[in-house]
Amino acid sequence: MAFRTVTTLKNEIAELRQRIEKLEALLAAGRAVPPAAPAASKQEISPEIVLAISAAVAAYLGKRATIRQIRLTSSNAWSAAGRASMQASHTIVRGNR
């Protein structure tokens, strides 16, 4: 995995900020494309959080990616899936063997 320099990251953040400003201008003008799915929550995600998520995705993938939707959830799906997996497992060891 290639590491990016601080200058490269600052340039990418500046570019992302410009894109956000452009999208905000399009939204204000009423010409923005409607979202693919209706938003379940009316909570807004700050531009700083969007930048952090974008940077994390880029770091994980090793390249820039288009983020199409970000939504806040209050689901415990990951923990529930983990518990279900453990409870359904047939390899649970009990006690000392």
10 vs 74, residue with greater confidence: 10
DSSP 77-92: HHHHHHHHHHHH-S--
In contact, 2 and 62? CB cutoff 8 Å: yes
Q: What is the residue-averaged pLDDT of the chain?
A: 77
- Residue 17: the pLDDT is 92
Name the strand (E) or helix (H) holding 57: helix 47-61
Q: Delimit the domains of the chain by residue range.
A: 6-88
pLDDT bucket at 22, cuts 50 / 70 / 90:
confident
pTM: 0.33
